[in-house]
Structure 1
Amino acid sequence: MLTAGMLMTSAAQALVVTDVADGQTLANNILGSGISISNVSYQGSATSSGTFTGGLASGLGFDTGVLLTTGAAQNAVGPNNETGKSTNFGGAGDSDLTALSGYSTNDATVLSFDFEFDGGLGGDLFFNIVFASEEYNEFVGTQFNDVFGLFVDGNNVAKLPNGDPLSINTVNNNVNSDSYIDNETGSYDIQYDGFTKSIGIKVLGLSAGLHSMKFAIADGSDFILDSGIFIQASSFSDTPVGVPEPGPLLLLSIGLLGLGAARQRLNRQ
């Protein structure tokens, strides 16, 4: 694990985010071996998504990839020196995410496409992610339950063993805490107050033919306090890429195994 001192000595490699709102560019960045994609679409603002470098120096489990957020992608850049970093781009929510969150959603950013395995055969699907948010830790257990979903053929594969989705209320200091990294004190060079360890997701035994994939993240109940999902570059693949940090957080699909400064309390208006 990186220490604060190590982060200071590696400032040149700190998180750098480049705004990208072109769905094809984003999808190509995460595309790895053995998979072909088509029919790419993007929903979000011109500044709510992008590519990033310097993830390892900032405490993430991988160095480069794509970032989708509920506000502004640039708000992810550290250090954690602001209370409630937030951008409201006035976007619509997502009905699939509303069902997962249990509350209305807003400012949804969605990257979706069709995919198939090279050679026309079925196979296994792998990718690596980190979920992060400014909602931590003040609004854990509330209606401000920002949520992330990964939908393969319409089914959310980012589900915890008990069936819960990946959200503020399901991974935090109190629940699934072994998979959570608290950044309230700014130990990591990233603006978010908390984030998950690197999570490897796998979906096994997909059939031959065309499948759909949807990466989606949204604010729960309101439009403020950004959340983001980091997706490792080239990890959307038919073989595993990298080794995420071990932890108890295992993600399940339906029928398939898958794998600063101290912040003051913010009064929401």
Structure 2
Amino acid sequence: MKIKNLGISLFFVSSFSANAGLLGLDLIETGDDAISDITSSLVVSGGGVSVIAGSETFVGAIGDGFSSNSAQSGIFSGVNITDGSSTVSMGEGAVLTSGTANIPSLNTETSFDPFTPGTGGDADLTAILNDAGAPSSITNDVNYIEFDFMLGAGFNAISLDFIFGSDEFPDQGVTDVFGVFVDGTNYAFFPDSSLVSFVEGANASNFLDNTTGLFDIEYDGFSQNLNLIGLVDESLTQHTIKIAIADTSDSVYDSGVFLSNLTGIYTDNDGGVNNPPTTNVDEPLGVFLLLSGLGLMMRLRRRS
């Protein structure tokens, strides 16, 4: 695959003390293995999530190798969005969009939509928009990765980091939407429990305002680096995850989501998140072992 946008990122290195924007962007183009590229950049090796080979599905426009805007997805070495004083960052991962993954490190477009993927709608995203009473539930230009997986022993959920950005912010009345469906249930929400989308007059507080272009990314608004936890159906031995984004109502004012660090976790019934539970010594046995050790030490002292 060909490295895109690196020159733009390097330009901003001279402006800020840290690297800027979307780093090392590698677009999904003709001849690339989209499924392998995205899953390998997204799923943490040894993190408890084992992708079942042959189960994967990818829907998205593949770049033609000529137009830099014709690829809907990509992978990256990092994200570092800054205005020089505050920064939103994440490590290696993948980007899915409702338009082009070649996202500039300058905000110069009122409506960022240089490419229309034409990939159609998505029933799962339409369903959650309907359930939320969104202004529109018609989805277009969907981009998603879906696969079956197995979780390591002791895990009962997955964890995923994401940053959502959109040119719908701050004044468009439609709701480009992002969802993460684990065993059929969506677990992608903003901290205020709203869907991951922009809803005018309702959830603007979930976005950092970039309408004046202070941050080195094209999107007019974007979220912090957020984490979601998706519980698996523990009655199943194999599980399914679908990660999807789409335009809503139209094919303009595009949105994108940066994804990283897909791993298995254990979460208890109270919502606490931990590593897989470990086997602890029961208290009565622990006390017995402690007393036995003290007794042995006293006998050894008498002998000496």
- 1:7–1:189 contact (8 Å) kept in structure 2: no
| Alignment-derived partner of residue 282 in structure 2 | none
| Alignment-derived partner of residue 3 in structure 2 | none
* Cα distance in 1, alignment partners of residues 59 and 224 from structure 2: 26
| Alignment-derived partner of residue 49 in structure 2 | 35
User: Which structure 2 segments of 5+ residues have no match?
Assistant: 1-11, 63-70, 131-136, 274-304
Q: 1:201 to 1:15 in 2, by over 3 A?
A: same
Deviates more, 1:196-205 or 1:38-47: 196-205
Q: Decide which structure has the larger Cα Rg and report it.
A: 2
| Alignment-derived partner of residue 250 in structure 1 | none
Cα deviation 1:83-110 (Å, max 9, x = unaligned) = 2110212220101111223420100001
Q: 2:96 aligned with 1:62, yes or no?
A: no
State the superposition RMSD in angstroms. 2.8
| Alignment-derived partner of residue 207 in structure 2 | 180
Q: 2:138 aligned with 1:104, yes or no?
A: yes
Superposed, 1:96-245 pairs within 5 Å as: 96-102=124-130, 103-119=137-153, 122-139=155-172, 142=173, 144-159=174-189, 164-169=194-199, 174-204=201-231, 207=234, 209-232=237-260, 235-239=261-265
Q: CA deviation at 1:57?
A: 4.4
Report how many residues are paired. Answer: 231
| Alignment-derived partner of residue 61 in structure 2 | 45
Q: 1:105 to 1:256 in 2, by over 3 A?
A: farther
Code of the aligned partner of 1:180: F
| Alignment-derived partner of residue 9 in structure 1 | 16
User: Which structure 1 segments of 5+ residues have no match?
Assistant: 241-254, 260-269
Q: CA deviation at 1:161?
A: 7.5
Q: 1:78 to 1:18 in 2, by over 3 A?
A: same
TM-score, normalised via structure 1 length: 0.76
Cα deviation 1:155-181 (Å, max 9, x = unaligned) = 111145776421111xx7x54454321
| Alignment-derived partner of residue 20 in structure 1 | 28
Cα deviation 1:149-205 (Å, max 9, x = unaligned) = 110111111145776421111xx7x54454321111111111101011111112357
Q: Bigger relative contact order, structure 1 or 2, given CA contacts below 8 A and separation 6+?
A: 1
Secondary structure of 2:51's counterpart equals strand
Code of the aligned partner of 2:182: V
Code of the aligned partner of 1:44: G
Q: 1:161 to 1:61 in 2, by over 3 A?
A: closer
